[in-house]
Amino acid sequence: MLNSVMVVDDEASIRDAVQQWLSLSGFEVQVHSRAEECLAALPQHFAGVILSDVRMPGIGGLALLDRLQALDPDLPVILLTGHGDVPMAVDAMRDGAYDFLEKPFSPESLMRTLRRALEKRQLVLENRRLHEQADAKARLDATLLGVSPSLQTLRRQVLDLSALPVNVVIRGETGSGKELIARCLHDFGPRAGKAFVALNCAAIPEQLFEAELFGHESGAFTGAQGKRIGKLEYADGGTLFLDEIESMPLAQQVKLLRVLQEQRLERLGSNQSINVDIRIIAATKPDLLDEARAGRFREDLAYRLNVAELRLPPLRERREDIPLLFNHFARAAAERLGRKAPVLSGAQLSQLLSHDWPGNVRELANAAERQVLGLGQTEPTAVAAGQSLAAQQEAFEAHCLRAALSRHKGDIKAVLQELQLPRRTLNEKMQRHGLQREMFLPNA
C-alpha cells in the first residue's frame, strides 16, 4: 500500500499538526511552506498524494493544482480550504482535484480521505505499470526477432535485467548480436534517457587504452592537446558497453575495477576525482572465469562484471528463426537500396536452413543483402552438424505457417484452405511455433 503524502501549507501550526497525525499513523510525510518548494521536490513519478492549502503566498493551491495536473493528470490533489473557499474547491474538483477538506478538519476525516486517494493512486500506477510492460514487450518483440524458445527466453531475461541496476556480461559468438542485446538492456531500462557508450576493447592500441577510457588533461602526455572526456565519464548516468572485454589490458582492468568499486575516476594528468554513475555491460566470447584461471583476466573484475550473464544462442541452435530474420533483413535492404524484396523458393529456404552460419546473424544479414542485389545466396560451407531431419522439418513448417499467415493477413479461414489443415491441427501448430493471429493483422 502506498503511504507517501506531500503537505503544502504556509501555516506552521497546520503543517506541524498534520505531520504529527500522519507520522503516527504510519504515513511517509514531506512538508513544505510554499508551492514552489513542493514543485521543486516532487519526484518524476510521485507514488503518493498532495495535500495543499488553497490560499498561500506566491503560487496558490489552485495554481499548484494546474501545474500538477500538467505534470500528471492522475496525481491525487486534496485541497485544504477555509469556509469561504468551499464553492471554489467544488469548482476545483471539476477541474481535477481529488477532494477537499474544510478547516478545521479532524484527524479521522483526513485519514479517510487520504486512504481513499492513496488506493486510487495505487490502482492508477499499477495500471500504468502493466501498460508499460505490455508496450515494452511489444517493442522488444519487434527488436529481437525470433520465435524459437531460446529467443523467447532471452527476451524475458532482457526485460527483467533492463530494469535492474546491475552489471551484465553477454556471452556469444561473433556476429550473434551482442551489441543489440546491450542496446536493448539500456533502451528498455531507467537509463534510457542517458548516454549509451560503446567501446571495442580489441580495437584500441594498449598505449592509448587508458586515455580512451579515462580521458586526459591537456599536456598529460606527449600529444595530449586539450582536455578530453573519456568513455567512462561520458557514460555518466548511462551505460558503458565494453565489447570483447577479454581483450582489455590487465593494467587497465585494475583501474576499471577501482572505478566500479568507488564510482569515482581521475583523468590522466589530473588529481581531481570525478564522481561517475555508470552501468557496465560487457560482451565476451570466452568465459571470463576460464580466462581468469588462465591468468588472462582478473578474477575480481570478472565477478564484479558478471553479476548477471546472458548467453546468446548461435544461429545454428535456433534455425526456426532463420526465415523470419532473412525476410526482415531482405526487406530492410530492399528499402535501403530501392529494390524489390526477394521471395524465397523452397530450394533457397532449404539452403538457408542447412547452412551452419558460422558468422551468425551478421552473416545472414549479408546473405539477405546479396540476395536483394541479385548476387545469389552464399553456398553452404557446412551442413548443420547434429541437426536432425525432424528439427529441419520443424523449422520449415514454422516458415510455411508464418508465410501463409502473413499472406492472408491473419485470416485463419484462408490459411486453413491454403494449407488444407483441420482447424485444431493449425491451432496446435501455431501454438507450438509461438505464432498468434494478432501478429499478422494489418494494423499489428
Per-residue pLDDT 10s for the chain (444 aa) are 578 999 999 999 999 999 999 999 999 999 999 999 999 999 988 999 999 999 999 999 999 999 999 999 999 999 998 877 778 878 888 888 999 998 889 999 999 999 999 999 999 999 998 898 888 888 999 899 988 889 999 999 999 999 999 999 999 999 999 999 999 999 999 999 999 999 999 999 888 888 889 887 776 666 666 678 889 999 999 999 999 999 999 999 999 999 999 999 988 888 889 999 999 999 999 999 999 999 999 999 999 999 999 999 999 999 889 988 999 999 999 999 999 888 877 778 888 888 889 999 999 999 999 999 887 654 443 334 455 667 667 777 887 887 788 788 889 999 999 888 999 999 988 888 878 888 778 765
Q: Are 322 and 330 in contact (CB under 8 A)?
A: no
Q: Are 95 and 114 in contact (CB under 8 A)?
A: no
Assess whether 193 and 324 both reside in one domain.
Answer: no
Q: Are 430 and 415 in contact (CB under 8 A)?
A: no
Does residue 135 lie in a domain region? no
Q: How many domains does the chain have?
A: 3
**Residue 308: beta bridge partners?**
168
Does residue 139 lie in a domain region? no
Does residue 326 lie in a domain region? yes
Assess whether 119 and 157 both reside in one domain.
Answer: no
Assess whether 167 and 283 both reside in one domain.
Answer: yes
Assess whether 340 and 426 both reside in one domain.
Answer: yes
Report yes or no on whether pTM surpasses 0.75: no
Does residue 138 lie in a domain region? no
Residues 6 or more apart whose CB falls under 8 angstroms from that of 217 comprise 224, 227, 267, 268, 269, 270
Residue 177 belongs to what domain range? Answer: 144-313
Q: Which of 313, 346, 366 is the last residue of a domain?
A: 313
